[in-house]
């Protein structure tokens, strides 16, 4: 997967970078795949993690909500000797694809893939003009639907929270004025409008439209909700001793993963002076450091790794907890799902 940049696969120049598995040695160390094990890769993408896991002798069930990723992985599945099963599915449904005895490991690499960014027709990037789409599964509400139909107040919430865009209000009002004359249809059209409202400064490392594109992509694909549900699903699907490894690229995603492991280890997110402790048994024990980032050497070769954060836990034999979304403090962005109908 790639960093959360609407403009491209790198932070500084937006130039395309073909898929390089981020934190691969660290992922393998935390996941510890071995012959005879069954690992679920919930974000197959270009198959970087899956290929490395197969090389360690484990079998892999690989999911992806993008049908093009599944189609592209057929050759790898055929060469795996029956050890790779590809499934077109959201990773929030991963428990439905786990074997009866449970999984030995689950790995999730959160975000949009390099292949999606590099394909203008998918509408994830504004480096090359394309339809304003951004749907990973190629179905449902598109980014164009959101931009053209959402109320200004909703656009402000989406851009402000999901994109952490400080100019959310100005951009949303400019969109409302512009779409009254002509609906937004392409990525470049939206990017140009944003840049006219919030011109790029010489010191800026990213394009002014980057955060808005990120917010739209996260909203269109319900990425935060999907991640939260995937963590609950992994907890149910893993056998005792099984490992959950998550690589995220954005502070909002990492915050969800961190809160999940805090909650499931018996430590809630209280203050550091007075942490809140649950009385229920922990369902996950820590694996390695609480958080692992990419080395300077990896970042030099693969710039998108700069924002990557890895967190991991080992499943205990305690019963799975409840699917309580309140532990994540996610914002309420309901009411926009039927926008494209």
In whole angstroms, what is the distance from residue 220 CA to residue 143 CA?
6
Contacts of 143 (CB under 8 A, 6+ apart): 123, 132, 133, 134, 135, 216, 217, 220
Torsion sign, CA atoms 134, 219, 9, 211: positive
Cα 306 versus chain centre, distance: 15
Nearest CA among 31, 29, 45 for reference residue 249: 45
Per residue, the 3-state secondary structure of 144-187, as one string, reads HHHHHHCCHHHHHHHHHHHCCCCCHHHHHHHHHHHHCCCCCCEH
Contacts of 35 (CB under 8 A, 6+ apart): 56, 57, 58
Q: Which 3 state secondary structure label does DSSP give 188? A: helix
In whole angstroms, what is the distance from residue 106 CA to residue 138 CA?
25
Annotated binding-site residue? 109: yes
In whole angstroms, what is the distance from residue 187 CA to residue 194 CA?
11
Annotated binding-site residue? 288: no
Annotated binding-site residue? 13: no
Nearest CA among 77, 28, 66, 103 for reference residue 226: 66
Annotated binding-site residue? 127: no
Annotated binding-site residue? 15: no
Feature table: binding site? 47-49, 64, 91, 109, 116
Feature table: binding site for S-adenosyl-L-methionine? 47-49, 64, 91, 109, 116
């Amino acid at each position: 997967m790639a960093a959360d940049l609407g403009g491209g696969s790198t932070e500084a120049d937006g130039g395309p970078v073909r898929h390089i598995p981020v934190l691969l040695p660290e992922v393998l160390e935390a996941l510890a795949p071995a012959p005879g094990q069954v690992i679920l890769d919930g974000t197959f993408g270009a198959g970087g993690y899956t290929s490395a896991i197969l090389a360690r002798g484990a079998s892999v069930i690989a999911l992806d909500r993008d049908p093009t990723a599944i189609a592209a992985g057929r050759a790898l599945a055929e060469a795996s000797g029956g050890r790779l099963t590809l499934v077109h599915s959201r990773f929030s449904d991963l428990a439905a694809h786990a074997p009866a005895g449970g999984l030995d490991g689950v790995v999730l690499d959160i975000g949009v893939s390099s292949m999606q960014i590099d394909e203008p027709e998918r509408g994830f990037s504004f480096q090359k003009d394309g339809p304003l789409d951004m749907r990973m599964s190629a179905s449902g509400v598109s980014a164009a639907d959101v931009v053209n139909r959402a109320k200004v107040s909703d656009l402000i919430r989406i851009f402000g929270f999901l994109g952490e865009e400080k100019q959310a209000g100005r951009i949303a009002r400019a969109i409302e004025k512009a779409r009254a004359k002509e609906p937004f249809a392409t990525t470049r059209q939206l990017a140009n409008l944003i840049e006219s409202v919030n011109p790029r400064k010489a010191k800026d490392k990213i394009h002014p439209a980057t955060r808005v594109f990120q917010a739209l992509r996260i909203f269109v694909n319900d990425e935060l909700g999907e991640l939260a549900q995937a963590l609950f699903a992994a907890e149910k699907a893993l056998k005792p001793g099984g490992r959950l490894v998550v690589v995220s690229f954005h502070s909002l995603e990492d915050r969800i993963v961190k809160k999940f492991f805090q909650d499931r280890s018996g430590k809630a997110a209280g203050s550091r002076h007075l942490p809140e402790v649950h009385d229920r048994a922990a369902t996950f024990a820590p694996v390695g450091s609480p958080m692992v980032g990419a080395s300077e050497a990896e970042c030099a070769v693969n710039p998108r790794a700069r924002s990557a954060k890895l967190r991991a836990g080992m499943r205990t034999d305690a019963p799975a907890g409840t699917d309580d979304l309140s532990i994540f403090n996610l914002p309420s962005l309901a009411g926009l799902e039927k926008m494209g109908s």
